[in-house]
Amino acid sequence: MLDAMQRAGTTTGPPLIVTRDPALTEQLLRLCAAAAVTPEVVSEARDARRGWARAACALVGDDLAGDVAAIGLPKRSEVVLVAAGPDSAATWQRGVALHADHVAMLPDAEGWLVDRLSDCLEASEAACLTVGIIGGCGGAGASTLAAALATVASRRRVRTMLVDADALSGGVELVLGCEDFEGLRWPQVASTHGRVSAAALRAALPTLGDLAVLSWDRGGEASLDATTMLSILSAGRRGFDLVVVDLPRRPDDAASAALTSCDVLLVVTTSGVRATAGAGRLLALLRTQCADIRLVVRSRAGADLGAETLSQMLHVPLLATIPTKRAVERSIEEGLGPPSRGQLHERCVSMLEQIGVGAAPR
């Protein structure tokens, strides 16, 4: 599993605009503003050499396309020749000479170009790990673990998004103690369709340091479809290093879509006989929807079965055991969220490392 902090193959610089046409420059700056990016602008072909290789994408005006092609810059991806007005054979010929990936004719291509600018700056979804957490039985503490795992990851400087996919739960915000924080909740994004900007999503959600949270408000139930869930998760994977999804035991269409999007699924259960039977029935369904399932056992005094025995009975690899601690419950009840130290914190660090999420360098 890729470490969540890897960013293979991405560029680091701002978009590069190469044109001396004032009207085209103004148009492109407006489109960059719509995509929430700040470009570097040069008005001579020779000045493009400095930022050419590191730019997230290069937008070359038709007026300078021939000059840029003539100076022999290294070939690179995400080069767009931009022209105003109707296209012509000559414009496309200059695009070929420039080795452009695309030719964008304005104003018709404005919407496409805004999306392209956003895509260039957002990380590949492949660099993000999506972890689902689901209770194998009622009262297993799946929401607590989801909140704790996300909190610990964010404290280790991993950009993390926590998604509450259970519309009928008490709300993961209450576990974190951030229910009064400003930001959007599911009811405000439930009508979202199509591509969602990762930058816009990050800016809109309630945050605790490096942790962004998408949960439910205290109002009535909102309708959420699978398409919206997938759009939000796609944006999350482009904008964060780790996405943690708190899943219901009886998934609706939206939660089922989230479940099938998970790279790793953690099933949390206690070690009683009835809990084990319930987890076994649930796992029969989960195995058809996720290939990588791990078991987390919440230990308690006088448990009927040991964690290793439970793992063998359920045919699921054991990831960790987590303690039942009154201090954790008290911290959550007081609105402080999961404790920043203690056994639960330590087990979360271990779980993150086992599933491939390392701490970000300082």
For residue 57, tell me if it sits in a domain.
yes
Q: Mark whether 111 and 155 lie in a shared domain.
A: no
Q: Mark whether 23 and 74 lie in a shared domain.
A: yes
For residue 5, tell me if it sits in a domain.
no
Q: Mark whether 117 and 136 lie in a shared domain.
A: no
Q: Mark whether 75 and 129 lie in a shared domain.
A: no
**CB within 8 A of 68, min separation 6: which ones?**
18, 45, 48, 60, 98
Nearest-angstrom CA–CA distance, 322 and 297: 6
For residue 7, tell me if it sits in a domain.
no
Under-70 pLDDT residues of the chain: 1-12, 121-126, 193-194, 220-222, 301-304, 334-335, 360-362
Q: Which residue range(s) make up the domain with 263?
A: 125-354
For residue 362, tell me if it sits in a domain.
no
Q: Mark whether 54 and 175 lie in a shared domain.
A: no
For residue 319, tell me if it sits in a domain.
yes
What is the total count of domains within the chain?
2
pTM over 0.85: no
Q: Mark whether 322 and 205 lie in a shared domain.
A: yes
Rounded to the nearest angstrom, the gap between the alpha carbon of residue 54 and the centroid of all alpha carbons in its chain is 24
Give the per-residue pLDDT at 9.
37
Q: How does pLDDT run across 309-325, given as a tens digit for each residue?
A: 889 999 999 999 988 77
Virtual torsion, Cα 39, 43, 49, 51, nearest 10 deg: -10
325: which 2 tokens? Answer: 């601690």
